[in-house]
Amino acid sequence: MRYAVGLAEAGVAVRVVAPHDPGLPDAHDVAGIPVRRVRYGPDRAEDLAYRGEMHLRVRHPRRAVRAARLVGALARTVRAECRAWGPHVLDVHWLVPGGMVTWLAGVRLPSQVVVHGTDVALVTAGPIRRVIARRLLDRFELVAASSGPLAEELRSALGRAADAVAPMPYAVPPADPGPPPGQDRILAVGRLVAEKGHADLVEAVATLRAEGRRSVSLTVVGDGPERDRLAAMAEERDVPLTLPGAVSPADLEARYARADVVAVPSHREGFGLVAAEALARKRPVVASNVGGLAEIVTDGVTGWVVAPRDPRRLKEALAAALDDPDEGRRRAAAGARRVHERWSAAQLGRDVADRLRRLAASERN
């Protein structure tokens, strides 16, 4: 919702249509923005959205049927909202399912689609999918990507150049958490899936401890199918691992404050929001050089950078960050400046608002 709030603060009237999820209201306001949460089944069956795994879950036949219901329900709601409210522009997120929803809704409005990463991977996995993806993209006047590297991937795979880069704004820290506490605490945040590289991180921490750094511990915030595997790996390798699951924003802030290093060892990233949020809190970051992470974390400048899938190099970078807290603070401060200048909600809101206003004006003319 930070993206929508940034648009609203830039003077754009915004309404949001999104999937429902158990525990969420059907309709509510967020910072004055009306939000419609669209039901696509009973609570127990609404398990596709907000987990970062839709592209994996829809491979199961039963969930593929749920996905079809979700797309249909969203399309009907988008059509009804457009008739009732009369927006000038549609701003759609994720080519799949968002692009499919727009096509099925049959709404003829100037539109932008923002691709985020897993949607590009999903629609480029085979020639038939690429044909469908190109047809979906052709329905949009503007295409934006969440990072420069993702824009290049889109161009290379589908032959469509992105018109803009539109990353997700980071969460602004409520207060300066102060310097890292110096207790060898490593934090990772993200869904527990293989592409996030958490298994590599467990291996790296195990080696650190085997080499004599017995004080080091690891916390991985998030949920997902890798949870049991990570717990078993940690027990086998004598790694003190905390897996708190999904946590509240306040709890996450407290965990950032207690972290000495934030690790983002992803195999793939559209943008790299966790790295941006860690740097905004002046926490040293060790990250893979993949996707949008390469725009956020520069080795020797705003953090430590390693190749993905390389636990040995990851261990060396973590050791370097823990061994030199002064250097960690220097790089984190430089990263905080970069993040604030480039990816604040206010700045991104102004950029997207200007782009959407130009789109609406061009259609009127």
Asked whether residue 118 is assigned to any structural domain, the reply reads: yes
C-beta of residue 218 within 8 angstroms of C-beta of residue 240: yes
Asked whether residue 179 is assigned to any structural domain, the reply reads: no
Q: Do 11 and 140 have their domain in common?
A: yes
Mean pLDDT calculated for residue range 249-263 = 96
Domain count, the chain: 2
Of the candidate ranges 12-16, 226-230, 266-270, the one whose mean pLDDT is the lowest: 266-270
pLDDT, tens digit, for every residue of 114-143?
998 888 888 888 888 899 999 999 999 999
Q: Do 163 and 15 have their domain in common?
A: yes
Q: Do 125 and 151 have their domain in common?
A: yes
Q: Do 318 and 197 have their domain in common?
A: yes
Instruction: Convert the chain into a string of H (helix), E (strand) and C (coil).
Output: CHHHHHHHHCCCCCCEEEECCCCCCCEEEECCEEEEEECCCCHHHCCCCCCCCHHHHCCCHHHHHHHHHHHHHHHHHHHHHHHHHCCCCEEEECHHHHHHHHHHHCCCCCEEEEECCHHHHHHCCCHHHHHHHHHHHCCCCEEEECCHHHHHHHHHHHCCCCCEECCCCCCCCCCCCCCCCCCCEEEEECCCCHHHCHHHHHHHHHHHHHCCCCCCEEEEECCCCCHHHHHHHHHHCCCCEEEEECCCHHHHHHHHHHCCEEEECCCCCCCCHHHHHHHHCCCCEEEECCCCHHHHCCECCCEEEECCCCHHHHHHHHHHHHHCHHHHHHHHHHHHHHHHHHHCHHHHHHHHHHHHHHHHHHHHC
Q: Do 222 and 150 have their domain in common?
A: no
Q: Do 334 and 353 have their domain in common?
A: no
- Which CATH number does the domain housing residue 124 bear? 3.40.50.2000
Confidence of residue 365 (pLDDT cuts 50, 70, 90): low
Mean pLDDT calculated for residue range 315-337 = 98
Asked whether residue 178 is assigned to any structural domain, the reply reads: no
Asked whether residue 67 is assigned to any structural domain, the reply reads: yes
Res 256 pLDDT > 90: yes
Q: Do 315 and 264 have their domain in common?
A: yes
Q: Do 98 and 189 have their domain in common?
A: no
Q: Do 201 and 157 have their domain in common?
A: no
Q: Do 262 and 356 have their domain in common?
A: no
Q: Do 267 and 289 have their domain in common?
A: yes
pLDDT, tens digit, for every residue of 59-92?
788 888 999 999 999 999 999 999 999 999 999 9
Asked whether residue 176 is assigned to any structural domain, the reply reads: no
Domain containing 326 equals 185-342
pLDDT of residue 364: 65
> What is the rounded radius of gyration, in angstroms, for the C-alpha atoms of the chain?
21
pLDDT, tens digit, for every residue of 184-205?
999 999 999 999 999 999 999 9
Summary mean pLDDT of the chain: 93
Asked whether residue 177 is assigned to any structural domain, the reply reads: no
Q: Do 103 and 250 have their domain in common?
A: no
